[in-house]
Amino acid sequence: MLAIINETAAFLAAKMQYLPKIGIILGTGLGELATQITHRQEIPYEEIPHFPVSTVEGHSGKLIIGQLGNTKVLAMQGRFHYYEGYSMKQVTFPVRVMKALGVETLLVSNAAGGMNPDFKIGDLMIITDHINTFPEHPLRGANEPSLGVRFPDMSKAYTKALREKAKKIAANHGIRVVEGVYVGTSGPTFETPAEYTYFRTIGGDAVGMSTVPEVIVAVHAGMQVFAMSIITDLGIAGQVVEVSHEEVQQIANQAQPKMTLIMKELIENL
């Protein structure tokens, strides 16, 4: 595994004009941020050795290397979800490669369903912690000591200083943000009413199908992490309504400018 990571990193390092210390996984809600990256270089996933190949769409995404303000970033446009059929090693491979390239801070976004009764549709949630309910663990198997320890601490997975900075930025712009625990689940089904109640009962504020695997690997690798969800639908006990992928996309698009602004300012001031 180490040899493969290093091979991919060496391929990319040879192409890249510089090695950014900031990595971004442009999940739902951050498509717009991608368009604001200047001085950019793009590398399609298909050209990158050992990168997972797309299972469904014609092309699976690209790496974007460039600048947000004066800050150099390495962004993944398009992520790999467990529900698509990738193994956890594949889902998290790009994070390993980012680390090998020198990335120290990882920023992630996603869409999630809210279970906290104080949440509203379209809210932005700063993730304070997570609950991992995926059936496969990304660190299962032999541990490579040079990548991280066998039993990683998870008590401070989401870097407090970054959360505080993001809250200040949001307040300065009058943007409402909430904070909470993100439950990562495999999908691809949205939750049944009983499952929403269950995820609330175990301590979750929102639930989604990504992020947790990448964050676990980033923490294992010693990175700082900041993650934010757009609450695109609500699964609150007694008032669960139908949800569709289209609705999730639509709400995410509406909330996108707020998310973009916070992330951009956070990155420019890291």
Sign of CA dihedral 90, 91, 95, 96: negative
Q: Interacting stretch for ligand HPA, rule CB under 6 A, among 133-141, 203-211, 220-228, 260-268? A: 203-211
Count of other CB atoms within 10 angstroms of residue 142: 7
Q: Does 243 bind ligand HPA (CB under 6 A)?
A: yes
Interface map 137-176 toward ligand HPA (x if CB under 6 A): ----------------------------------------
Question: CA-to-CA distance for 21 and 98, rounded, in angstroms?
Answer: 9
Q: Of the two residues 190 and 226, which places its CB atom closer to ligand HPA in the complex? A: 190
Residues 6+ apart with CB under 8 A from 193: 235, 237, 240
Query: Which of 123, 205, 214, 233 is the binder for ligand HPA (CB under 6 A)?
Result: 233
Q: Does 204 bind ligand HPA (CB under 6 A)?
A: no
Q: What is the rounded distance in angstroms from the CA atom of residue 212 to the CA atom of residue 182?
A: 8
* Residue with Cβ nearer ligand HPA (26 or 112): 112
Among 75, 248, 255, 262, binds ligand HPA (CB under 6 A): 248
Alpha carbons 12 and 48: distance in angstroms, whole number: 8
Q: Judged by CB under 6 A, which of 20, 204, 208, 213 binds ligand HPA?
A: 208
- Does 223 engage in binding with ligand HPA (CB under 6 A)? no
- List 73's β-bridge partners, or say none: 22, 66
Per-residue x/- mask for ligand HPA, residues 52 to 91, rule CB under 6 A? ----------------------------------------
Q: Residue 235, interface with ligand HPA (CB under 6 A)? A: yes
Report, in Å, the least distance between residue 189 CB and ligand HPA. Answer: 8
- To ligand HPA, the closest distance from the beta carbon of 80 in angstroms equals 16
Restricted to residues 181-200, the positions that interact with ligand HPA (CB under 6 A) are 190-191
CB of 259 to ligand HPA, least distance (A): 14
Closer of 182 and 226 to ligand HPA (Cβ): 182
- x-or-dash pattern for ligand HPA, window 97-136, by CB under 6 A? --------------xxx-----------------------
Torsional sign, CA 186, 187, 192, 196: positive
Tally of CA atoms within 13 A in the half-sphere of 234 that contains its CB: 13
Chain residues in the site for ligand HPA (CB under 6 A): 111-113, 190-191, 207-209, 232-233, 235, 243, 248
